[in-house]
Amino acid sequence: MEEASRSVAFYTLGCKLNYSETSTLGRLVEERGYRKTNFQQGADIYIINTCSVTDNADKKCRKVVREALKYSPSAYVCIVGCYAQLKPKEIAEIPGVDAVLGAAEKFRLLDLLDGFQKKSEPQVFASEVTEARRFNSAYSLHDRTRTFLKVQDGCNYHCTFCTIPLARGKSRSDTVESVVNQAREIAQTGVKEIVLTGVNIGDYGIIDGKRTNRFIDLVQELDQVEGINRFRISSIEPNLLSNEVIEFVAQSQRFVPHFHIPLQSGANKILRQMRRRYLRELYADRVQKIKTLMPHCAIGVDVIVGFPGETEEDFLETYHFLNSLPISYLHVFTYSERANTPAAEMDAVVPMKTRQQRSKMLRTLSEKKRRKFYQENLEQTATVLYEEDVEDGQMHGFTENYVRVSTPYDPLLINELQSVQLGEINELGTVTVAPVSALVL
């Protein structure tokens, strides 16, 4: 079959970084003459980008493969991503899988897979993660209103619960020049907001094993890029979120007042067992610094509950610590054991029922924090970037500081920035808006 007549569908599990890479793989296959199509339309080829951080990576991968084959029983199925690097042989045994590519191989799939021709046995290309030394640029496009731009990959930290260094290799970055050029390319497509993404973006600047730049250097250069109205920093470690970065964002016209800062635990005992590189006192200092300079800034927090050895006292210490901080929302993760991590071998395992109860408590706290943050922003004037996110006649978007707003659907507003006054919190937990003017920026 001619390549031009063969269709390819993608499915992405996991993080923003995975989305940026899937989108780039999509552009690569289109450049070779393949047609991108929707998952449900029965593609000739399915490429599934997997994650190892979320629960049940195996179950999720198997389910997506089954769904793909339901729509196209004779399709060629290729698995890439973090789970593919960690368990390539296991994935190759899933019925219907034709190829598995690890971290060092996924961007070479067009060269490695011989035109996606089925073989008698699944093909596995997964070298040791130490071979994943090259930085592969990536950004998402046309998938969402915002673009996820990959600036860094891999991680040199070895937290006891995490498989990312095993799945993605050592920390490595794109050059400042390359990132700036990609931002300019993205600007030409009409995108208004870029989210900077990576595994550990605060560690940006390592090229070929040597530090050549710092994250602040990249931020300062991107701030000069014309045509992009907003830059948003994704998750950044508290020990790498310097005063310099916070102060720069506070005065920037393009970098928005929104930080997502992983905490994982509010108990220093647990932070030490996790091998995190900070204690709660530093975390509180970072939040205080941000709120002093940007009182309206959104602060999101990652937290893990049920880590081995977490007692009820440890959990309550985390709960009360989070409750005391002027944060905006939580991403709550229920700890789950990961093969080949030190935490999986630790004693004092927390029962799953207890983990789930603690997760529920923190998710309730998150909703209270979000509502309080939204209330603090009511009656303020803000700029909303509307997305193609329509539900029951209402369209949604986000302010600079990540307040989710809703307004009656108007196709002219999609991917547009509009100055609005924030009204009230509705029953869905979003904020209604009253336009200050009809002027679309």
The structure tokens listed for 114 are 């011989």
The parent domain of residue 160 ranges over: 147-377
Tell me the pLDDT of the chain averaged across its residues: 93
On whether residue 141 sits in a domain, the answer given is no
Write down the pTM of the prediction. Answer: 0.92
Residues 212-230 pLDDT 10s: 999 999 999 999 999 999 9
> Cα-flanking dihedrals φ and ψ of residue 96, to 5°?
100, -15
By mean pLDDT, which of 19-23, 24-28, 140-144, 312-316 is the weakest? Answer: 140-144
* Residue 85 · residue 126 · CB < 8 Å: yes
Q: For tokens 């490429």, what's the residue?
A: 47
Query: Looking at the chain, how many residues does it have?
Result: 441
On whether residue 137 sits in a domain, the answer given is no
On whether residue 34 sits in a domain, the answer given is yes
On whether residue 134 sits in a domain, the answer given is no
Q: Which of 129, 157, 180 is the endpoint of a domain?
A: 129
Cα–Cα–Cα angle for 388, 394, 400, rounded to 5 degrees: 60
**β-bridge mates for residue 173, sequence order:** 152
CATH code of the domain containing 419: 2.40.50
Q: Do 277 and 184 belong together in one domain?
A: yes
Q: Do 272 and 401 belong together in one domain?
A: no
On whether residue 138 sits in a domain, the answer given is no
Q: Which of 349, 377, 405 is the endpoint of a domain?
A: 377
Residue-level pLDDT at 441? 46
CATH code of the domain containing 125: 3.40.50.2300
On whether residue 142 sits in a domain, the answer given is no
Q: How many domains does the chain have?
A: 3
Residues 71-88 pLDDT 10s: 999 999 999 999 999 999
Q: Do 173 and 305 belong together in one domain?
A: yes
On whether residue 135 sits in a domain, the answer given is no
Q: Which of 76, 100, 129 is the endpoint of a domain?
A: 129
> Cα-flanking dihedrals φ and ψ of residue 100, to 5°?
-130, 125
Residue-level pLDDT at 133? 84
Q: Do 21 and 118 belong together in one domain?
A: yes
Higher pLDDT, 54 or 25: 25
Q: Do 86 and 227 belong together in one domain?
A: no
Q: Do 390 and 351 belong together in one domain?
A: no
Q: Do 199 and 345 belong together in one domain?
A: yes
Average pLDDT over residues 89-107: 94
On whether residue 392 sits in a domain, the answer given is yes
Residue-level pLDDT at 4? 55
Residue-level pLDDT at 6? 93
> Cα-flanking dihedrals φ and ψ of residue 131, to 5°?
-80, -15
Average pLDDT over residues 404-416: 94
Residues 275-288 pLDDT 10s: 999 999 999 999 99
Q: Do 108 and 177 belong together in one domain?
A: no
Q: For tokens 């941000």, what's the residue?
A: 290
Residue-level pLDDT at 1? 47
Residues 316-365 pLDDT 10s: 999 999 999 999 999 999 999 998 999 999 999 999 999 999 999 999 99
Q: Do 420 and 368 belong together in one domain?
A: no
Q: Do 373 and 385 belong together in one domain?
A: no
Average pLDDT over residues 98-113: 94
